[in-house]
Chain A
């Protein structure tokens, strides 16, 4: 991955869930340039941690949990691009933290 935090851009798409609404299904984008230094550094740490725990290969699509949500994260950092998928309940705290961070700071 590149080292310039400013080149970091993450998009999150949430699908499904008991309160599924098409209006909320659009991708949430978060660019490090939108954030102050402290939050940009936090985003970088969260992305590194999440990518480290996420499986390298896309897991085969398991049977959906009724009302469970699915998450598709795309982490772009300079020339590097990584896709990470997860589903409820998100077992890895690093992934859960990144998802919560993007929901809080990102823009639809």
Chain B
């Protein structure tokens, strides 16, 4: 078994032992399912694939997957529970909507429910990943957290969304990419556990922005060219001068407001911000890897999650990605993964390398 997220049938596990040149042929000429499985297998380093194939029958990850039964296994489905904290900070709060229940009529509840569904669908369809942990973890979220609370976060076991103060921020469920961002924190924690400080912390934030944006693009079926590449569009309250919290296309331009100040995100390493605030500027310097992803995705073209997103996802899952990885370490991994997936001399690997060069990381 290649992957804890693997929800396919037996032929997928067989791909682990196929050499890369055959996998690339399958990736070009196979059915949609075969192509996805081949790309998944290609994304994993050859030596690691061999190890995983050998270890699979007794591995912890494999044991998390239900045993195969005769016939086709049903596709994984989300298991969502939305709670309300009703203005308190007690978690998880009171259940207000469970999986399969009708819309509640409470905008925050229903946006969280739908957003978690869209994020689950993205990770399943684009990354062949079954929920946050790859093994169908239930998705729990609490809305109406705190009083006029201007934040959203992942606490290690669930997602939490504030209502915003209404003056600077609207409710934090209003933007799908914000929900995707928060859920991706759980994915990153499961895969790489990047240290939340300095460059690895900014990389952690960037990965959440990348996949948050891809969740939205996937839901809207947008090409890279059509996407707005904004994080938190609609989150800033009426009257605030700005379009979003961050722009991956043009870091540093999302807002310029009397109260909020000017968007401080850099797009290039020469403007890297050294600070002790914000865990070493994790929400500031994330602009650099964010912009690299945007450059790579638009250079490659098409649906960003199909190629650039796959490269970033496989780099996130690569065991060579250490908890203290800096931008350059991650950049080199993405170039290596692009080479494994699409050929070292392919235009994809070239586009990824060039993107990192353009932002001054490589």
Residues of A within 8 A of B (CB): 15-25, 63-69, 88-91, 93, 96, 100, 103-104
In-complex Cβ contact of B148 among A65, A67, A103 (8 A): A103
Residues of B within 8 A of A (CB): 88-89, 91, 145-148, 150-156, 160, 165, 168-169, 172, 178, 181-182, 185, 188-189, 196-197, 201, 204-205, 208, 232, 235, 245, 255, 257, 259-262, 264, 277-279, 282-284
**A63 CA to B201 CA, complexed, in Å:** 12
Cβ-closest chain B residue relative to A108: B259
Instruction: Knowing A18-B178, A103-B148, say if A68 contacts B153 (CB, 8 Å).
Output: yes
CB distance from A89 to the nearest CB of B (A): 5
**A20 CA to B181 CA, complexed, in Å:** 14
Residues of the B chain whose Cβ atoms lie less than 8 Å from the Cβ of A67: 151-154, 181-182, 185, 205
Residues of the A chain whose Cβ atoms lie less than 8 Å from the Cβ of B264: 21-22
Cβ-closest chain A residue relative to B196: A64
CB distance from B160 to the nearest CB of A (A): 7
Most chain A CB neighbours (cut-off 10 Å) among B182, B204, B255, B278 = B278
Instruction: Knowing A65-B156, A96-B89, say if A88 contacts B151 (CB, 8 Å).
Output: yes
**A64 CA to B201 CA, complexed, in Å:** 10
Instruction: Knowing A19-B169, A96-B89, say if A88 contacts B278 (CB, 8 Å).
Output: no
B146-A100 in contact (CB<8A): yes
Chain A residues touching B, majority SS? loop
A69-B261 in contact (CB<8A): no
Give 11 A-B contacts (CB < 8 Å), ordered by A residue.
Answer: A17-B150, A18-B151, A18-B245, A20-B284, A21-B264, A23-B257, A63-B196, A64-B196, A88-B160, A91-B89, A103-B165
The 9 closest A-B pairs by CB, nearest first: A23-B261, A67-B153, A20-B283, A66-B185, A64-B196, A17-B151, A23-B260, A100-B147, A96-B89
B204-A23 in contact (CB<8A): no
Instruction: Knowing A15-B277, A67-B185, A96-B146, say if A21 contacts B152 (CB, 8 Å).
Output: no
Cβ-closest chain B residue relative to A17: B151
Residues of the B chain whose Cβ atoms lie less than 8 Å from the Cβ of A64: 196-197, 201, 279
A65-B261 in contact (CB<8A): no
In-complex Cβ contact of B260 among A24, A65, A91, A93 (8 A): A24
Instruction: Knowing A25-B277, A65-B156, A67-B152, say if A19 contacts B232 (CB, 8 Å).
Output: yes
Cβ-closest chain B residue relative to A91: B89
Instruction: Knowing A66-B154, A100-B146, say if A20 contacts B232 (CB, 8 Å).
Output: no
**A96 CA to B146 CA, complexed, in Å:** 8
Residues of the B chain whose Cβ atoms lie less than 8 Å from the Cβ of A23: 257, 259-262
Cβ-closest chain A residue relative to B91: A89
Residues of the A chain whose Cβ atoms lie less than 8 Å from the Cβ of B150: 17, 19
**A66 CA to B192 CA, complexed, in Å:** 13
Q: A65-B153, A103-B165 are in contact. List 8 more A-B contacts (CB 8 A).
A: A17-B151, A21-B264, A22-B261, A22-B284, A65-B156, A66-B153, A67-B185, A68-B155
